[in-house]
Chains A and B, each alone.
Chain A
Amino acid sequence: MGLASLFAAAPLAAAAHQLVVFASVDCEVVTVEAKFSNGRVAQTGEVRVLDGENALMTTLPLGSDGMARVPLTSVDHSSGLVIEVDTGGHDNYWIVTPEDIARKCGS
């Protein structure tokens, strides 16, 4: 099809992966997990933590297990948190609202 793409009616046999980011909260810490959609753990990368105004609050490295932990006491989470993970070639994000945090803190 040259430079253009004609729709295909069947899956293409191509290696496909995207970065999947997930963050969970337990009232004390935000646990960030990053892996590729093919199941492989993202072993290196930068985790950026932003506030509700998209202002950068802190950055930390992704662990070799594809995880990072952000203690809630280390950031101002009153307006929620945006967790961005950048592995160099892929990036993605997860949004944690103030309500997400409140639910986990029993309020």
Chain B
Amino acid sequence: MHRYIERVVLAVFGLLMATVVVAQDRPKVVAVNYPLQYFAERLLGGSAEVVFPVPDGVDPSFWRPSISDISMIQSADLILLNGAGFATWVDRVTLPRSRLVNTTAAIKDQFIVTESITHSHGDGGEHSHEGLASYVWLDPTLAMAQAEAIAEAIKARNLAPPDEVEDRLQQLRKELEALDQQAKSAFSDVQNAALIATHPRYQYFGRRYGLEISSLEWEAGATPNDAQIAELQMLAQETAAQVLIWEAEPPVEAIEAVESLGLQSVIFPTLVREPADATYLSSFEQSVGTLSEAIQMRQ
């Protein structure tokens, strides 16, 4: 009996050690946003751990990592950047160039330059900071380019068998093309529809599907104050928009305030983070359906 227990203990210990070794041996990939994490996980098929290091409740665009976060990222086998000015922290640390992949390097000519904040201080006079719209993955054709860049990087570094990565890429490409076709079809009858978004996140989406999307600078999920509601009212009058896009579910009183101006609210997660109970594809598909229905109802 004693010998039997000893064998069982040894077997369990061996299993535990094997699990630890496998976990340690697995390559690590860091992604700066959820779409890149999703594409990498699909393409790797479990052959590497994919980490999205930004804590809950923090905007990944403006996350300020700790030193230990950067140490972890520096040790990754692959670091997937979004480019287009997304994740400002990447320009404030030393990252290993050989393991960096800018997933929008091939689509720079399609970037959208955004209007900027004008301010004045010191002896610099009035000036402004222009930037780039960075939520490129909200155009599935650009997302496809990002997925292709990730696939190339995975194959080049041999993080998964190349033929398997290629098969998975083909499948992902099909799904993204289907998503794009669905969106094209959904918005084909509402070209140039005027919309307002609570935050400037939908530039690439709007351009791809011919939607005129004006933007406010409201905080995600917060109730707008009186001045913000007045700003919305003025913008709705200027643009004749009848639909307001929220990036996150707002409080009920916010929806009511918007409805009182004659605007219909639509929640369209930007997917910068993983949506609850959904994936990049299913959430995008649902948002397209909800938004197109709202626009058609108002026309």
Contacts and interface: CB of A to CB of B under 8 A. Distances in A.
A51 B243 CA distance: 48
A18 B121 CA distance: 13
Interface residues of A, number: 37
A88 B206 CA distance: 37
- Mostly, the A contact residues are loop
B133 interface: yes
B57 interface: no
Nearest to B202: A7
Interface in B83-107: 89, 91-94
Contacts of B215: 4-7
B124 A89 contact: yes
B219 to A, nearest CB: 15
Given A4-B231, A7-B133, A95 B92 contact: yes
B115 A8 contact: yes
B234 interface: yes
A2 B122 CA distance: 26
A7 B128 contact: no
A34 to B, nearest CB: 12
Interface string A1-40: 1111111111110111110110000000000000000000
Contacts, number: 113
Nearest to B113: A11
Nearest to A90: B121
A3 B68 contact: no
B94 A100 contact: yes
B238 A14 contact: no
Contact of A94 (B92, B122, B206, B234): B92
Interface stretch (B59-67, B148-156, B185-193): B59-67
A68 interface: no
Nearest to A36: B124
B112 A9 contact: yes
Interface of B: 64-68, 70-71, 74-75, 89, 91-94, 112-116, 118, 121-122, 124-125, 127-130, 133, 196, 200, 203, 206-207, 212-217, 231, 234-235, 238
20 contacts: A2-B234, A2-B235, A4-B196, A4-B214, A6-B115, A6-B213, A6-B215, A7-B200, A7-B203, A8-B113, A12-B130, A14-B116, A14-B128, A20-B91, A52-B66, A79-B67, A89-B121, A94-B92, A95-B70, A97-B93
Interface of A: 1-12, 14-18, 20-21, 52, 54, 79-82, 87-89, 92-100
